[in-house]
Chains A and B, each alone.
Chain A
Amino acid sequence: MNVLSELNKTSGVRGSMLVGSDGIIIAADLDSTLQDETVGALSASIVASVGKAMERLHNESPRQIMVEAEHGKLFLTDAGLGILTVVAEKDVNIGLVRLEIKQALAKIRGQ
C-alpha cells in the first residue's frame, strides 16, 4: 500500500500498518524487527480495551491513542475501515507524525 510507504518516509517512523478491529492485517509495512501479526493483534487489543473504558467513562470512542514506551512510541488511529498503527522511535517529532497520519487517513478514506 502506497500510503503506508509514504508514511514510513517520515523521519523516525519505523513502520506502519492497517489492521481491522478484529486484529486481521489489511496492509503492513513494518521494519524487519517487528512481526506484522503480533503488532496487529496487539494494536487491536489496545484499541478494544481503551475503547471499552472510554465508553464507560464519558461515552466517547477514542480517535487516536499515543503510547510512549521506553524504546519508542506507538500511534493507533481510527481509520474508519480499521486501525492505522504507526511505530516510531522514542525521539520522533510527534507533531510531524500526527500531520503525516492525518494526510494518510485522508488518502485511506478516499481509496
Chain B
Amino acid sequence: MLIAKTEKKDNRFQSALDYLVEYRGVREAAILDRDGLLVGYRGADLSGAETFAPLSLLMLHNIDAVLKRLGENKAGSVVIKTADSWLTIQGAANLILVVRAGSEADDLLRVRIGRAADMIRLHVQEKYPLQVD
C-alpha cells in the first residue's frame, strides 16, 4: 500500500504530461532539467525526444541571452509557430516544460500548459523545497 502511494506521488510529472497530451492536437510533451536532460516525456518518439530536449533548451538559452541585452530577465515562455505545428517552451520552477502541438490545437492549450506548469512547480516545491527558484 505504501509503495503504491509513493509511486503515485512520484508520477506527478507524468500526470502533468498526460494532462497535456490528452488535449486535441498535442503530439508530444516533455519536462527537461536545466542541463537539457529529459525528466519526463509523453509522445510517440522517445528517441526523437533526445534531440527535441537539448535543442529546445538551446533555443531558450539563446533567447534569454538576447533578452538580457534588452534589459529583460529570462523568458517566461516562448511560442514558436511553423506552417503545421507550434512549439511552446515554458519555465516551471527549475525545470522546463516543452509542448509540441499540431495546427489543429487551439489557443486554450495555453491554459493547459499554464496549469501543467503549476502542477510541476507544486511537485518540485513539495519534493525539493530548497531548489525552488
Contact = CB atoms under 8 A, between A and B. Distances in A.
Interface of A: 38-39, 42, 45-46, 49-50, 53-54, 56-58, 60-72, 95
B47 to A, nearest CB: 13
B62 interface: yes
Among A39, A53, A66, chain B packs the most CB atoms within 10 A around the CB of: A53
A47 to B, nearest CB: 10
Nearest to A49: B62
Contact of A95 (B72, B85, B107): B107
A67 B67 contact: yes
B72 A62 contact: no
Contact of B55 (A38, A46, A56, A65): A56
B82 interface: yes
Contacts of B51: 56-57
Interface of B: 51-52, 55-56, 58-59, 62-63, 66-67, 69-70, 72-85, 87, 107
Nearest to B51: A57
B74 to A, nearest CB: 8
Shortest Cβ-Cβ A-B pairs, 5 listed: A60-B82, A49-B62, A69-B72, A66-B79, A64-B81
A54 B82 contact: yes
Contacts of A66: 78-79, 81
B85 A58 contact: yes
Contact of B78 (A38, A68, A72): A68
* Dominant secondary structure of chain B at its interface with chain A: mixed
B39 to A, nearest CB: 19
A68 B75 contact: yes
Nearest to A95: B107
Given A42-B70, A46-B66, A67-B67, A57 B75 contact: no
19 contacts: A38-B69, A39-B70, A45-B66, A49-B63, A50-B78, A54-B82, A54-B87, A57-B52, A57-B87, A61-B82, A62-B81, A66-B81, A68-B75, A68-B77, A68-B78, A68-B79, A69-B67, A69-B73, A71-B72
B129 to A, nearest CB: 24
